[in-house]
Amino acid sequence: MRRWRAALIAYAARLRLTFHEGRAQVVPSETGLPFLGWRVFPYRRRLKRRNVVAFTRRFRRMRARYAAGAATFGELNASIGGWVAHARHGNTRALRRSLLAATLPRRGTA
């Protein structure tokens, strides 16, 4: 592993790039790599937990504002739609379903 790291640092130096010595670690790809709010694995992408928690809090506040009449349905819909569009870039179908299931009416019921 140490030889790989040294080889990567040497290769990056030829490209005039440097690594953050303390943060540059060689790890198995199965553990996933953090990248722009995602955890990227060889065959899937998962949202980081803090992003899900932040959306859940925003969503709860937005629903309360909508219930109180301080926000319109369009604002609520835009907020949810933006996050869903972002979350679709990963393997988040079950996550989206579980977060939004309590709010959305079920099909066939009105």
Tokens of 95: 């996550």
pTM: 0.67
Instruction: Characterize the bridge pairing of strands 33-35 and 45-47.
Output: unpaired
pLDDT at 47: 92
pLDDT at 103: 67
76 shares a domain with 51? yes
pLDDT at 54: 93
Check if the beta carbon of residue 33 is closer than 8 Å to that of residue 39: yes
Mean pLDDT per 10-residue section of the chain, whose length is 110 residues: 80 89 77 89 92 92 91 90 92 89 60
98 shares a domain with 57? yes
39 shares a domain with 23? no
19 shares a domain with 5? yes
**Whole-angstrom distance, CA of residue 25 vs CA of residue 74:** 45
Residue type, 80: I
**Is 82 within the bounds of a domain?**
yes
Q: In total, how many domains does the chain have? A: 2
**Is 109 within the bounds of a domain?**
no
Q: Which domain holds residue 16?
A: 1-31
pLDDT at 49: 92
